[in-house]
Amino acid sequence: MRKIVKTVFILSAFAGLLSSCSMDLRQPGAIDTENAMSSIQDAQNLRRGLYANFRGAAAGGFISYSEVQSDLLQATSGYGNNYGSFFRWTFNPSEEPGVWSSCYSVIANANFFIENAENILNNPSDFTEDELAELRLYLGEAYFFRAYFHYELAVRFCKPYGAATTSPETDFGIPYVTVYHPTAERDNYPSRGTLAATYEHINEDLDIAESYITTTGSVGSMWLTQDAVDAFRSRVYLNMGDYSKVIEYAEPLVSSNRYPLVQTSSDFSAMWVNDSGNECIMMLDASNESNNQPTSYDVMYISYQPSTSQYQPGYLPTQGVVDILQEFDGDFRANQFLMQREVSEPYGNATVYMLNKFPGNPALFSEGMSDGQSNYLHKNKPFRIAEVYLNLAEAYASSNQNTLASNILNTLRSARISGYSPEYNQAAVMDEIKDERVRELIGEGFRLWDLKRWGDPVVRSAAQAPEIMVNHSALTGTVSDDTRFLWPIPKSETDANPNIAGEQNPGY
């Protein structure tokens, strides 16, 4: 057996996500590339690194920048310009928030794992049969992560695949990197390729992931399962506009009832406050230990100051969002997600609704939560059955199957709204689905990509209390006429990579 080298992937691929940093496609960290996977224990360590990276991408900057760029939030006068250029839509290639480099760092890690694992499986003399079975599962996870992070790049930096104005065979994709190949030879750096090729590769990797990830799904699983892969595939195909495929992957998940929708306000609260795991196809592990901390979903939504007993949020839901959440009496989400308090801002005080979806799990606050203070940490929930319901409803509606779409939508609403009774025309079910995605998914990083997929404009409704908010220009652009629906390739990358220098997104 070769010498065992105790090395792991860097766990800090997302440490620089909130600041611009140069892309490095090819180096996953200080790894002895000859001996880095000499035992199943080495594979387990490398696997943990990939999961840590995935946890970092399930919230934090991955969520924050697109949420503030969307139409759901207004900035208060005390927001301190946090995420300001994205809120104002004034960002440029020097201000890309590190998503590009972070994703490619994880992709390099995944490629390194895939290469080494496949070498072992082709020459398995040093591993037992049980270890090889374990390694095959890990290999499937690595293929999943490679697809996942390429997809996260595609939704940000590329045109919406299924849009009428998109030509997947000619429009730019993103560099799809499938080989761990450290090199300083700039001429060998990859170009963007086409959007069609990008999504073809994503689905090829997910096909392989499906073949290796055979773990049966279970509520609140901290590991990837068959159901988690299917949930993600329903998301990918929805953004591709391939509605038959959405139905293929989403309908069995919904009809299986393995993830029953909660039926009481207390169970709904436990899901969001205490991380019960209810309805979660996957909920990532977290603890107070410094090496296992979750990433916060909070975007200065509450910002309680214990020293002054004041709330000083940086962002508030718009009045339109409040109206949507409060449309139905007895909606668990309005009661849980909205918290009305007096807030204190530089321009004055006002009583408003704050977004209370992520108040912080007391079990993850090391000193205990008292007097309203919190670290706003939760166990990250990358895949929930409610999203799958909404993906399925949209696929039915977009396939002119309005009755089926309404049935799915009404099932979800009946679980969320006490005494719910459908009162809309089924012909308008798509409009109802759009509002329902606001109620259900606000703060989870979907809204901007929903608008982009639908071709709808970003139009922020009025602020709840204009006297305490910052002034900003109204936004009415759509993906067809506002280039900033596509994020800019970072300047550090276009400067370093001669094969992408002429492939910047328009308008930058």
Confidence of residue 232 (pLDDT cuts 50, 70, 90): very high
Q: Is the pLDDT score of 1 beyond 60?
A: no
pLDDT of amino acid 481: 74
Total Cβ atoms within 10 A of residue 426: 14
Rounded to 5°, angle at Cα 445 from 68 and 99: 80
Q: Is the pTM of this model over 0.85?
A: yes
pLDDT number for residue 127: 93
Angle at Cα 237 formed by Cα 231 and Cα 243, nearest 5°? 105
CB within 8 Å of 169: residues ≥ 6 apart:
194, 195, 196
Bridge-partner residues for 339, per DSSP?
Answer: 354
- Determine the Cα angle at 29 with ends 27 and 34, to 5°: 85
What average pLDDT does range 181-205 have in this prediction?
87
Residue linked to tokens 């970003």: 458
Q: What is the pLDDT of residue 259?
A: 98
The residue with tokens 């927001």 is 79
| Residue positions counted in the chain | 508
Q: Supply the pLDDT for residue 451.
A: 95
Output the pLDDT for position 368: 56
16 pLDDT more than 50: no
Of residues 230, 229, 190, 205, the one with CA closest to residue 498: 190
We find that the CATH architecture of domain 1-214+471-508 is Alpha Horseshoe (1.25)
- If pLDDT is split at 50, 70 and 90, which confidence band does 183 have? low
State pLDDT tens for residues 440-452.
999 999 999 999 9
Are the CB atoms for 172 and 194 separated by under 8 Å? yes
Q: Which of 8-22, 33-47, 201-215, 471-485 has the highest mean pLDDT?
A: 201-215
Average pLDDT over residues 344-368: 90
The phi, psi pair for 312, rounded to 5°, reads -135, 65
Closest CA to 156 of 61, 84, 295, 229: 61
Residues 6+ apart with CB under 8 A from 504: 93, 488, 489, 494
The amino acid at 304: Y
Residue 6: predicted pLDDT = 32
Identify which of 23, 443, 56 has the alpha carbon closest to the alpha carbon of residue 284: 56
Q: What is the residue extent of each domain of the chain?
A: 1-214+471-508
C-alpha distances (whole Å) from 103 to each of 9, 12, 130, 150, 198 are 14, 12, 32, 7, 15
pLDDT tens across 417-433, in order? Answer: 999 999 999 999 999 99
For residues 479 and 455, is the Cβ–Cβ distance under 8 A? yes
Per-residue model confidence (pLDDT) at position 369: 58
pLDDT (tens digit, 9 = 90+) per residue, 467-487? 999 987 666 666 667 889 999
Q: Binning pLDDT at 50, 70 and 90, where does residue 220 land?
A: very high
CA 380 to chain centre: 10
pLDDT bucket at 141, cuts 50 / 70 / 90: very high
Find, among 488, 459, 489, 486, the residue nearest to 474 by Cα. 459
CB 462 within 8 A of CB 69: no
Directed axis angle between helix 402-416 and helix 385-398, to 10°?
Answer: 150
- The tens digit of pLDDT for each residue in 146-165 reads 999 999 999 999 999 988 88
Tokens representing 416 are: 């969320």
DSSP state of 178: -
Helix locations, 365-463, DSSP H: 385-398, 402-416, 429-441, 447-454
Q: Share the mean pLDDT of the chain.
A: 90
Q: In sequence order, what are the beta bridge partners of 338?
A: 355
Nearest Cα neighbor of 206 from 248, 168, 165 is: 248
Angle between helices 61-69 and 99-122 (to 10 degrees): 140
The conformational region for residue 21 under phi > 0 = left, psi -120 to 50 = alpha, else beta, is beta
Burial letters for 34-68: b for 16+ Cβ neighbours within 10 Å, e otherwise?
ebbbbbbebbebbbebbbbbbbbbbbbbbbbbbbb
